[in-house]
Structure 1
Amino acid sequence: MRVHDPQDQFLQSWNKLFVLSCAISLALDPLFFYIPVLKLNDEETCLYMDRTLAIVVCVLRSVTDAFYAIHIYFQFRTGIIVPSSRVFGTGQLIIDPMAIAKRYLSTYFTVDVLGILPLPQVVVFVLSPSFKNAVPIVGMEMLESVIFSQYVPRLLRIYPLYVEVIRSSGRLTNTAWGGAAYNFFIYMLASHVIGAFWYFFGIERQDACWQKMCRKINGCRDKDFYCGNKLDQADFVGLVSQACRIVEPDETKNSTDHFDYGIFTGVLKSGVVESRNFRVKFSYCFWWGFRSLSSTGQNLETSTFFWEIVFVVCIAISGLVLLLKLIGNMQIYLQSTTVRRVQELRVRKTDTEQWMSRCMLPNNLRERVRQYESTNGYK
């Protein structure tokens, strides 16, 4: 089998394509959180899965997994350049398949395998049908766990690959517009992720209220809140709906009869958790995430629920980190622009001196040329 040189044009093009697929997958995984939908009316109070959205998201996720599988294959077929040999030229290339495999297995292989496992698809299509015989929130927690457990490895993997692409090709965000687009994408991605979590956590809080009230009602079972059970909820749906109705946070402070949803009051009261219109609920949640991230969470009024507070703290930290990153990148770009300008002036000055030497200009004329260049020519 052929072993590719890391500096081959084909491999560099593939790495750029894979970085793009990783970016798409990072934006794709949070869409799994929009699959759960609530049904809230006088007859039913339950949770179900939007199977149309589930199919679309799972198919798209499988496509990005295919890119990941191809990338793993190329990792076993890409030579290794000895770092110590780079100073003497292009570097010594190791093409021994065993050495290549050993190096990859000891570095990013485990992370790549964790990132490619089709765990979200398994949870959605294998475990979801069994929710009718179990507690719906268990499946939601499993979906949340597998998405998070794979999101972190994918996020950690894309950065070193991005650095490698920049080092090998020198092109991706080496311009002001490219850097601005990169930072803009990171900010939009963070807003999207926060909005998706807000939607999902809002449904979890609604379910938490249902379970709390269910324990106080005879004959009520946790699994009755899955719409697929087709059970008669007439005996307790009115009590649960009344106790778990959404009210403003200020009203819950003066009453112990209402459940405090905190920052999730907005997503529940808006009705997007009951809608299967993906465009509506995605845009609404994305806007909330963008607004909260831009204000670093200062506009959010939480309840006393611990994980809600942790979520808001993460929003505040993310907003500050992205702001500092933007400022740092701007400083780096300005410094690089200044350094490049100084180098250009130095080269121009050297060329001018060489030209005057070749033309054997007298010293007084040389001084006049230097004076002119220092005041006008180097601007």
Structure 2
Amino acid sequence: MIYVFHNALYGDAKGWARRFLSFLQQYIPGVMNPHTKVVQQWNKFFVISCLVAIFVDPLFFFLLSTLGDKKCIVMDWPMTTTMVVFRSLTDLIYLFHMLLQFRLAYVAPESRVVGAGELVDHPKKIALHYIRGFFFIDLFVVLPLPQIIILLVLPKSLGSSGANYAKNLLRAAILVQYIPRLYRFLPLLAGQSPSGLVFESAWANFVINLLTFMLSGHIVGSCWYLLGLQRVNQCLRDACKNSGVPGCMKFIDCGHGNEFGDDSNGAWTNWSSNENASGCFTSDAFSYGIYGQAVNLTTERSIITRYTFSLFWGFQQISTLAGNQTPSYFVGEVLFTMAIIGLGLLLFALLIGNMQNFLQALGRRRLEMSLRRRDVEQWMSHRRLPEELRRQVRQAERYNWAATRGVNEEILVENLPEDLQRDIRRHLFKFVKKVRIFSMMDDPVLDAICERLRQKIYIKGSKILYEGCVVEKMVFIVRGKIESIGYDGIGVPLSEGDVCGEELLTWCLEQSSVNKDGKKIRIPGQRLHSNRMVRCLTNVEAFSLKAADLEEVTSLFARFLRNQHVQGAIRYESPYWRSLAANRIQVAWRYRKKRLSRANTAC
């Protein structure tokens, strides 16, 4: 009977556990790629959360202040509640990030050497990789030690002699936890994560560097305030030992500002009026060293005033490498001053150096433009160009720089993979499909044309084609306005999406033949001459296709380009073919009128 009952109970428990796990399974996400957009957005949010977290911890030091008239240390309880809430929120975000690491694929270390970057997406391998890495450090970082001490330990010790030890425990917990937090957070604030860069924008990295510098001043100022308060506390304890006031160690702590102890025997009054205790709030009775200004600062009731001045002090010492400070012989004070000097040197070497590089990068293009302009001026002076030509050259250089920003797109694209080059060209040259001539063409023909397009810049008044000159290129207008004027003086406006020199495409098809072995040959001695003049009404940004490149395209796709629909689109859209058709219609009409007039005269 017991055996049957045990089996039934065990079976029910096992089934219940299986159902519970299956219920949770549907809410557990699968393995995620670290390069997806959602993960990248989460990383940016997490970096901001980390910045808030390491900003909040030093604020716990400002919860403590002193009451100069009572000669005791007090804690700001309303502000303490706010700090606990903020710290708990950042801990929850960090805990969620830890759980995410168990479902986030990682790049295999062995694949990084060969540059393949293979992702490991097996759940067990991901979990083992994280546990063997930073899991235990993250676990220690996320422990709510300050919250536990503030909510459980301090309430039992405030107003008694044990409050000093409880507060020391709180400060120690914050400082001990803060070091691994910085170890984990600083690489993220630098913009790097295991999956790559968090902030790819130069402005974002500049802001992160600036915030890191502010964070350093915040930490130094907060530690200076805390150590100054510790020295005031030490002075009060020394004064208590020399005062002879019974139980004065309890009077050093005022709790939340209302625990002033039992004054039935006048001990509290004696302690408040004690000369040695009063001397602790002047810089003469105790060797405070670099904490001299912090003594009076601890008596300020406004936490904003205490924090603002401490932040200013931190900025000042980092910027000057503590050059205006002379520490006392206290060992801790000397070490703190040395740490400020070392931190200042590190910041100037890293953060300020990065900011300087960023600012130089912003002005690098402007410097390159100035150097380019100087070289052009020297060349024009050496060649003794007339002033009108110099003016046009300067205008062309300015517009060319404004259009390209000094970046050579051809060299930039050539270093990319072929498929990526094709996609980029399709995006950059998507205006090609706006032209009706090319809207009817297939992607292979358009890709072949886009591979041979070259960027061109024309200034206002430039002439792209002359009447009677050889047509050597097709020009696709990207930005600006052009006017095409025929031999009859009639102008046709051309703008974005239009093309000039399109007659070259039909001419390349007509002035060629195919020999017996199937190879296409050119008929020598024949060139296409323009019957119109094309000039720029404004500055024009365009792409050109040379005749040699166009001949190569027509040789590759001759059958498709000989299609009647494509030929019809070319002839219908082209101002050249329109004017040619109009001329032929006029000639035919005049010839017909002459024939009719001759027939009437003969009758």
When the two structures are superposed, what TM-score results if normalisation uses the length of structure 2?
A: 0.52
Q: Which has the larger share of strand? A: 2
Choose the corresponding residue for 1:235, options 255, 261, 270: 270
Shift of 1:192: 0.9
* SS at structure 2 position matched to 1:78: coil
Choose the corresponding residue for 1:181, options 195, 207, 221: 207
What is the identity, as a one-letter code, of the residue corresponding to 2:141? G
| Structure 2 residue 236 is matched with structure 1 residue 210 | yes
| Structure 2 residue 335 is matched with structure 1 residue 310 | yes
In the TM superposition, 1:56-67 aligns within 5 A as 56-67=82-93
What is the identity, as a one-letter code, of the residue corresponding to 1:111? I
Distance 1:348 1:126 in 2: 62
Choose the corresponding residue for 2:152, options 126, 133, 140: 126
* Matched residue, 1:324: 349
Shift of 1:139: 2.3
In the TM superposition, 1:261-280 aligns within 5 A as 261-269=288-296, 272-280=297-305
Could you tell me which runs of 5 or more consecutive residues in structure 2 were left unpaired when the two chains were aligned: 1-27, 369-404, 415-449, 455-472, 474-544, 550-603
Higher Cα Rg, which structure: 2
* Matched residue, 1:283: 308
What is the identity, as a one-letter code, of the residue corresponding to 1:198? W
Shift of 1:327: 4.8
In the TM superposition, 1:144-155 aligns within 5 A as 144-155=171-182
Could you tell me which runs of 5 or more consecutive residues in structure 1 were left unpaired when the two chains were aligned: 253-257, 362-379
State whether residues 220 and 236 of structure 1, in contact with CA within 8 Å, keep that contact through their aligned partners in structure 2.
no
State whether residues 132 and 229 of structure 1, in contact with CA within 8 Å, keep that contact through their aligned partners in structure 2.
yes
State whether residues 239 and 277 of structure 2, in contact with CA within 8 Å, keep that contact through their aligned partners in structure 1.
no
State whether residues 35 and 53 of structure 1, in contact with CA within 8 Å, keep that contact through their aligned partners in structure 2.
yes
Shift of 1:106: 0.8
Distance 1:86 1:297 in 2: 43
Shift of 1:360: 5.6
Shift of 1:332: 5.4
What is the identity, as a one-letter code, of the residue corresponding to 1:230? G
* SS at structure 1 position matched to 2:133: coil
What is the identity, as a one-letter code, of the residue corresponding to 2:102? F
Distance 1:36 1:14 in 2: 35
Choose the corresponding residue for 2:411, options 347, 357, 362: 347
* Matched residue, 1:375: none
Choose the corresponding residue for 2:68, options 40, 61, 66: 40
* SS at structure 1 position matched to 2:408: helix
Shift of 1:260: 1.2
Shift of 1:342: 9.5
* SS at structure 2 position matched to 1:48: strand
- Flag the structure with more relative contact order, 1 or 2, with Cα contacts below 8 A and sequence separation at least 6: 1
* Matched residue, 1:14: 42
What is the identity, as a one-letter code, of the residue corresponding to 1:149? V
What is the identity, as a one-letter code, of the residue corresponding to 2:329? T
* Matched residue, 1:369: none
* Matched residue, 2:121: 95
What is the identity, as a one-letter code, of the residue corresponding to 1:37? S
Shift of 1:96: 2.3
RMSD after superposition: 3.3
Distance 1:159 1:30 in 2: 16
Distance 1:137 1:229, change over 3 A: same
Shift of 1:220: 4.0
Moved more, 90-99 or 23-32: 90-99
Distance 1:16 1:94, change over 3 A: same
Shift of 1:91: 4.3
Distance 1:288 1:161, change over 3 A: closer
Distance 1:330 1:37 in 2: 37
Distance 1:163 1:199 in 2: 27
* SS at structure 1 position matched to 2:31: coil
* Matched residue, 2:378: none
State whether residues 191 and 199 of structure 2, in contact with CA within 8 Å, keep that contact through their aligned partners in structure 1.
no
Moved more, 66-75 or 304-313: 304-313
Distance 2:334 2:451 in 1: 65
| Structure 2 residue 269 is matched with structure 1 residue 244 | no
What is the identity, as a one-letter code, of the residue corresponding to 1:264? Y
* Matched residue, 1:368: none
State whether residues 66 and 72 of structure 2, in contact with CA within 8 Å, keep that contact through their aligned partners in structure 1.
yes
What is the identity, as a one-letter code, of the residue corresponding to 2:290? I
Shift of 1:112: 0.7
Spell out, residue by residue over 1:314-335, the C-alpha distance to the aligned partner (whole angstroms, 9 max, x if none): 1111111111113542575558
Choose the corresponding residue for 2:199, options 161, 164, 172: 172
Distance 1:345 1:332, change over 3 A: farther
When the two structures are superposed, what TM-score results if normalisation uses the length of structure 1?
A: 0.81
* SS at structure 2 position matched to 1:190: helix
Distance 2:249 2:131 in 1: 45
State whether residues 196 and 285 of structure 1, in contact with CA within 8 Å, keep that contact through their aligned partners in structure 2.
yes
Distance 1:195 1:109 in 2: 31
Shift of 1:39: 1.0
Figure out how many residues of one structure are paired with residues of the other and give that number: 347
* Matched residue, 2:31: 3
